[in-house]
Structure 1
């Protein structure tokens, strides 16, 4: 992915929008000024970064985030600044938002076998949504401190030595142990309010019992994360005869029932298609979180934490599958999104007996994603400590979908990816499609989080699940 951004050519726009917010806020008094600050500060940061020499990719993320914040805050701004000023602020903020997306879209590299991106407001807006999301994530997630860089690098070096000595780099499947059967999980009734009304479901939990290997770097730290040791899942079951099961694996920073049922619509998968649904909570997510936000520690902290998180996620899901099979499930398929697509892709290479797999907007290279989204100063700290993307790639081979041959039949595999995806580089999705021998594939003209706006994606999912639905 080309990291250079042309947003510096239009840095005057976020600057002008930020100045407009401050001007209107100051004229309205103290409360009005305070109300203007969130959008203005982010917009000023975007402008200054865009004007700075060298790499300035964060200019588009902050520009999109500031523009989005301006649009949202602008809806109530007439209460402070009057209708005319409010409309001007909303207009300038929306313009900044879309222009940030357009600038980011110009940096998309041409990738063989990936269609060329479209141009226009619709595509730029979708890319801007991704950029704003990246901007929000960058302000939320804890990043490795300079004092922690040496420890992270040391763990990766020790892991590389251990993994090589035990043959796991050559045979990654041997790194993953066969999990214990799950016989009697704790199940209680729960409910959540969704767009379709209140949904009653079963909340399932059990002791994960996953442990990293003896002498594996980061083992003691990982086992100290107490909330993460309880595995959880949300379940929807039909009464009566056994039904096919759909395992829906959520994305990064999700893991709560409201979010997960929003991503895997029960009115479609459960009611219309007739699937029983199992939505596992990935390690470090939802009620298993160890930081302020769901997902903290994955893709941002120690590399070995992410390796253990993915390995434990696979262990937990495979245990859940033993419970599902004990209920005489006629078929079981997996559909994952983003980080969940990564996990689904790995599961397809480790677990036999799956009837279909859909990898949606899947991350397939942990090392590339970890390194690409690391801010410059954090990346420099890691480099100074002797850690490189190549060294991360070596140890993360044990959690790479590219290391495993899928056990799901070719005609039951499907992938979709966004041409303008700013979170998962399209080349990662392309590489998985090649590794999977070119299964059913849909490239949509959009970004990471806008896939459900594409009719072709919906058709691909429907076609893949059709033979197993009731």
Structure 2
């Protein structure tokens, strides 16, 4: 094994060895943790799972590096700030279907639709090489009868595959609640993982362009489903929460929005986890947390827009011991948005297995199908 390989293996082993101590330290800082209770043991497991997942995602990616000094992004940042959120996120052209194929996987039957999409990025992002068409994909669960309520569910980082169907509990939402469900695949995820554009990463401009593209793709899907819908809700998990929040602030076709373990400031969040690389990430981490990159990120900031759905059609589900997106994100969003705030008492990943979160989601969706 090369020296670099040994170094990487040692770093991974060291960081994995610190998962439990970091988890216990995080819980010790909380006043609601009782280590000898059954609940306390579950919380340890959930926080440790968060630590394990984020450590693996961070260290299994290439070592962090910036293509150029952060000061070189100042011009792009200034242009984006001048345009503002509404100016950067342009309304997409109508979606033209490239292909729809039927998929059967055991008891599941759904459709996978592909379409070419050009987000027509503003010049500040286009000159950086991020503009142009890409083949987008969305998984569809549709009923055969008249118009139905639709839920558009936007996945988190590292997802975009079959697991999304289980994570989002699509089968129950489709069959029991009567919704049609669309699951857009974000750029750089799932079957798009090895295609251009890559997203997210440690290029702060590419991260902004990737999220702008994701927002544009979701809005194109909204236009495509609108004629067959009685109402439309949008929800997002983790990375997808920012996409869903922006869509809900830009597109008046959205009647309800739900965010699960939301993130704020994509570039800043990435910076907070780079410490697992040790001193090798110090320069990149400082750059990603800089004022210049904060200005870049301002045009994909969920706090920059008020959601268009009424407060009773807004739901935020936070995880009190979230070690990936952190509880502060949910608190800040609720302070800005109002609406409903539901706390899961465990971790970022653990909320996916919570029956109470599922019940809250179903209550929220059932209310969407009722007359205002």
Shorter-chain TM range is: 0.7 to 0.9
From 67, 83, 88, the counterpart of 1:175: 88
Structure 2 Cα separation of the partners of residues 410 and 359 of structure 1: 13
Q: Does the C-alpha gap of structure 1 residues 296 and 136 become closer, same or farther in structure 2, counting only changes over 3 Å?
A: farther
Q: Does the C-alpha gap of structure 1 residues 123 and 412 become closer, same or farther in structure 2, counting only changes over 3 Å?
A: same
Q: Is the 8 A contact 1:62 1:135 kept in 2?
A: no
Structure with a larger share of its residues in strand: 2
Partner of 1:287: 191
Q: What are the equivalent positions in structure 2 for 1:254-293 lying under 5 Å apart?
A: 254-256=159-161, 258-290=162-194
- Which residues of structure 2 form unaligned runs of 5+? 1-5
Deviation of 1:104 after TM superposition, in Å, equals 3.7
From 33, 42, 57, the counterpart of 1:137: 57
- TM normalised by structure 1 equals 0.70
Q: Is the 8 A contact 2:150 2:233 kept in 1?
A: yes
From 91, 97, 114, the counterpart of 1:205: 114
Q: Deviations over 1:141-161 (max 9, x none)?
A: 12333xx35x15144212123
Q: Is the 8 A contact 1:144 1:301 kept in 2?
A: yes
Are 2:345 and 1:445 equivalent residues in the alignment? Answer: yes
Deviation of 1:359 after TM superposition, in Å, equals 0.4
Q: Is the 8 A contact 2:268 2:289 kept in 1?
A: no
- TM normalised by structure 2 equals 0.87
Partner of 2:138: 233
From 377, 381, 384, the counterpart of 2:283: 381
Deviation of 1:211 after TM superposition, in Å, equals 3.7
Partner of 1:4: none
Are 2:356 and 1:456 equivalent residues in the alignment? Answer: yes
**Aligned CA-pair RMSD:** 2.7
Partner of 2:148: 243
Structure 1 Cα separation of the partners of residues 353 and 78 of structure 2: 46
Partner of 1:9: none
Are 2:123 and 1:214 equivalent residues in the alignment? Answer: yes
Higher alpha-carbon Rg: 1
Q: Alignment partner of 1:269: what SS?
A: helix
Structure 2 Cα separation of the partners of residues 130 and 369 of structure 1: 14
Structure 1 Cα separation of the partners of residues 93 and 117 of structure 2: 9
Deviation of 1:105 after TM superposition, in Å, equals 2.5
Question: Taking CA–CA contacts closer than 8 Å with sequence separation of 6 or more, which of the two structures ends up with the larger relative contact order?
Answer: 2
Q: Is the 8 A contact 1:180 1:319 kept in 2?
A: yes
Partner of 1:121: 41
Q: Deviations over 1:56-77 (max 9, x none)?
A: xx4xx5433xxxxxxxxxxxxx
Deviation of 1:100 after TM superposition, in Å, equals 5.0
Q: Is the 8 A contact 1:371 1:389 kept in 2?
A: no
Q: Alignment partner of 1:187: what SS?
A: strand
Structure 1 Cα separation of the partners of residues 126 and 70 of structure 2: 11
Structure 2 Cα separation of the partners of residues 303 and 380 of structure 1: 15
Partner of 2:220: 319
Instruction: Tell which deviates more after alignment, 310-319 or 374-383.
Output: 374-383
Q: Alignment partner of 1:373: what SS?
A: helix
Q: Alignment partner of 1:422: what SS?
A: coil
Q: Is the 8 A contact 1:273 1:469 kept in 2?
A: no
Structure 1 Cα separation of the partners of residues 318 and 71 of structure 2: 35
Structure 1 Cα separation of the partners of residues 348 and 197 of structure 2: 18
